[in-house]
Amino acid sequence: MTASKQQEAEAEHDPQVVVTPGDASRSSRQDRGLWRDLTSYWILGLCNNYGYVVMLSAAHDIIKQFNPSDDSEESLSGRNCHLVSTGAILLADVLPSLFVKILMPFFPFWVNFRIALAVAFSAAGFLLVGFANAEWMALLGVIITSASSGIGETTFLAYSSRYNKNVISTWSSGTGGAGVIGSLSYASLRSLDFSPRDTMLIMLIFPAIEAFAFWLLLRRPQIDILPVTTVESTEVLISDEKPLVGFKEKLSYIKHLFKYMLPLCLVYFFEYFINQGLFELVYFEDIFLDKDSQYRWLNVDYQIGVFISRSSVNLFQLDKIWLMSIFQFVNVVYFLTEVIWWYTPSIWIVFAIVLWEGLLGGGAYVNTFYRMSKEISPERQQFAMAMVVQSDSYGIALAGFLAIPVHNAICGLPAAARSLVW
C-alpha cells in the first residue's frame, strides 16, 4: 500500500483526522455505498415531513368538515371567512413537535426506538384524521403527526453527524420534496373527489417507506463514532473539542448556537404568519379556481419554492441568513396590506410572490444546517443539530398564536373591491 492510500484508509476510520477537499473527494469516490446513505436521507426527509405538510394542506378541509356552515356564511363585513383560522391547525401541527424537539437533545440517543416511535405515530395520525367523527379526534391526529415529525427531525439530523456531510443536503432536499409531493398529492386527490378518509388511507404508504429507508436502505455506521471531518481551508479548521457531557454542560453551550437559531426563527415566524394567518384571506372572485382551490394551490406553489431552495445548497450557499429574514418581513408587509385592500390585479402576481417566499424559507433552513456541518466540530454536532432544529418551530408556534387574532381582526374589516387584470 502506498503512503497516500494508507493515509486515506486511516482517515476513513479515524474521526480525529482532518482531510483536505481533494482527499475527501477521492475517499467519497471509493465509497461505492455512499449512494445508499444519500438516497436514504432524501427519502427520510420526504417521509418525515410528509404528514406535517399534508395536515397543513388539509387545514381548510379539517375545519370545514366540522364547521360546514362557515363555508356558506359571510362575516358581517362581507368577507367570506372561516370562524376558526387555519392558525389553529398550525398550532396543533407545530406545538407537539416543538415540545418533542426541546426534550429530545437531553434524552439517551436510542435511535431505533426513536424511529420506531416516529413511524408508529405517523401512521396513527393519518388513521385518526381519516376516521375522525369529531373535531377533537381530527386535532388529536394532527397532534400525533406533529410529534412524529419532531421525533424524526431531531433524530435524523443528530444521526447525520455519523455520515458524510452531504446527507444534510439530501435530507433538506427530501424535506422540500415533502412539501411539493405532500401538498400536490393532497390537492390532486381532493380534486379527483377522493374523500378525506380515502386520501388519508392512501397516504399510509409513507410511514412504511420511512421504515424501509431507515432499517433496510440506510447503512449502519461501522462503529459508533463520528465520521471524517472535512474542511475547505485552514482558516476554518475546527479545534479539537470534547463532546458535551451532562445537562449543565449542554445548557451552557446553547448560547453559542444563537447565531444560527435567531435568523432561522425569524424567517419561519414571518413565513408561517403569512401561510396560516393571511393565505386563506387572499381571494380572487370569478376566476378558474374557487376559494378552497386557491388556498390549496397557493400551498403547492409555496412548497415548490421550498423544494427548489432546499435542493440548491451544493450549487449555491448563503451564510447571511439574517438577510433572508429581512426579505421575508417584506413579504409579510405585502400580504398584510393585500388581504386588507385587495389591490393585486392578478392571482399570478400572488403566485410569484408565494414562490419567492418558499425560496427564502427553504434557503434559510438548508444553509443553516449545511453551515453548521462545516463550522461545528463532529464531537458537538449531534447536540447542536438537535438544538438548532427547534428554532424554526419556535418561529412557527409564535406565528400560529399571532395568526388567529390577526385573522379575526381582518375578517371584521369591510370587504374591498378588486379590479382584475388578465
Q: Which CATH number fits domain 33-67+75-223+246-412: 3.40.1110.10, 1.10.1020.10, 1.20.1250.20, 3.40.50.970?
A: 1.20.1250.20
The domain limits of the chain are 33-67+75-223+246-412
Whether the pLDDT of residue 223 is over 60: the answer is: no
Percent of the chain with pLDDT over 70: 80
> With 60 as the cut, is the pLDDT of residue 14 above it?
no
149 is written with which cell numbers? Answer: 415529525
SS3 of residue 18 by DSSP: strand
Reference 275, options 251, 250, 254, 301; nearest CA is 301
Neighbours of 219 (CB within 10 A): 12
**For 229-247, what is the mean pLDDT?**
54
Mean pLDDT over 206-214 rounds to 97
Q: Is residue 85 very low, low, confident or very high in pLDDT (cuts 50, 70, 90)?
A: low
The mean pLDDT of 397-410, rounded to a whole number, is: 86
229-230 and 18-19 strand pairing: parallel
Residues 100-116, mean pLDDT to the nearest whole number = 89
133 pLDDT band, cuts 50/70/90, is confident
pTM for the full predicted model: 0.74
Name the nearest CA neighbour of 391 among 419, 414, 415, 361: 361
Q: For the residues 227-242, what does the mean pLDDT come to?
A: 46
DSSP string, 346-412: -HHHHHHHHHHHHHHHHHHHHHHHHHHHHHS-HHHHHHHHHHHTHHHHHHHHHHHHHHHHHHHHHHT
| Burial bucket for residue 234 (CB in 10 Å: 0-12, 13-18, 19+) | exposed
Residue 71 has pLDDT above 60, yes or no: no
pLDDT for position 64? 67
Mean pLDDT of 11-30: 42
Cα-to-chain-centroid distance, residue 340: 29
Split at pLDDT 50, 70, 90, the class of 38 is very high
Res 291 pLDDT > 80: no
Band the pLDDT of 30: cuts 50, 70, 90.
low
Looking at per-residue pLDDT, the higher value among 15 and 407 belongs to: 407
Using pLDDT thresholds of 50, 70 and 90, give the confidence band for residue 320: confident
Q: How confident is the model at residue 29 (pLDDT cuts 50, 70, 90)?
A: low
